[in-house]
Structure 1
């Protein structure tokens, strides 16, 4: 596995985006366990894009403006929903009050994390353009090679996002003990989700 693949993967994964933002929010609001769950959910959300790239479905998405726009605006709508939920104290920054609420919150965290990555057409096209560069056309067992590289990318995603979340969880007590700070953070994260929705809406194929 080339050093170029590792460096490209780390740069892409470590660049702050929707998944990293959501994982940070989960760590700050619910602690280490929730941040790891969010990181795992974001990693699971990569799987459909990986399958699409390997099976060639990404080529169809790249070629079809209608398919791309449909998935893109579904992603925009979900990001706006996340912003609305955050502003209403029912999103990623809601602090659970008991064990039952915490269990329910864990389900919501992983579901939201998966959907955030699934509804991102750029991720599918990224896989379609990224993986083949490191798998020569005449390479034996090309499918196995692409699966291996995808697995490494997913592992890097999980590790980096989990580190983000755990670091956020480390300062959680200082945050949740100050209602004014929590309110400010909800506004910042809600506005960030809106900004990400706007950026996604302006993206082209």
Structure 2
């Protein structure tokens, strides 16, 4: 099993991912504001199931890759560092995304459709796939057991973090939108804090010891 310290670091990385603006967040906030909290929660269940799809694909894909290609870990480590630095730049780049300003009006849909849209929004979200493929290998050690089992462990940690934070976002979406509309300076503060944390994570991974 993965050491508890590594789980905490990974959970922190998952937290940074979930608060980074992206298709999932924009969809959930839009749905919550235009159709209510219940619709947002049903959509969130679909998003969570989409994570399961990515977890299974990565778990068995990484198992094959890490044992078949000796340099695969190094390559994925470089990808992980690059991805985090890319997210850091996206957070502070000029005209960056304000997730509350990016929300849009959506038509009222039935629960089944809400679930399906949430599911496919996440299944087709490249941000999720890149996060798993680039960061999972940084926390996986073959000496700790099955690579697939470790991937599943990390995946369920990520789902728990994502579900919890998105639940809070859905519950407070309307109030948060009004707050950031009145206090735009907080958007800039949030962006720079996020960029700093992402850069720290990238440096931590870059200088970690090879497995």
| TM-score, scaled to structure 2 | 0.60
Cα distance in 1 for residues equivalent to 2:48 and 2:72:
27
Cα distance in 2 for residues equivalent to 1:108 and 1:53:
18
Residues matched between the structures, number: 176
Cα distance in 2 for residues equivalent to 1:14 and 1:130:
17
Cα distance in 1 for residues equivalent to 2:192 and 2:67:
38
Cα distance in 2 for residues equivalent to 1:108 and 1:90:
24
Q: 1:108 to 1:200 in 2, by over 3 A?
A: farther
8 Å Cα contact 1:72-1:200 kept in structure 2: yes
8 Å Cα contact 1:48-1:118 kept in structure 2: no
2:123 matches 1:115: no
- Poorly superposed stretches of 4+, deviation over 6 Å: none
Find the counterpart in structure 2 of residue 71 from structure 1. 76
Matches of residues 20-169 of structure 1 in structure 2 within 5 Å? Answer: 20-26=15-21, 30=26, 31=29, 36=44, 43-52=52-61, 54-55=63-64, 57-60=65-68, 64=70, 66-88=71-93, 89-90=95-96, 93=99, 95-99=101-105, 110-120=125-135, 121-123=137-139, 125-126=140-141, 128-132=142-146, 154-155=155-156, 157-169=158-170
| TM-score, scaled to structure 1 | 0.62
8 Å Cα contact 2:180-2:186 kept in structure 1: yes
Deviations 1:135-175 (A, max 9, x none): xxxxxxxxxxx77x966764453233211222244344335
Structure 1 regions of 5+ residues with no counterpart? 134-145
Name the SS of the counterpart of 1:96 in structure 2. coil
Structure 2 regions of 5+ residues with no counterpart? 33-39, 107-116
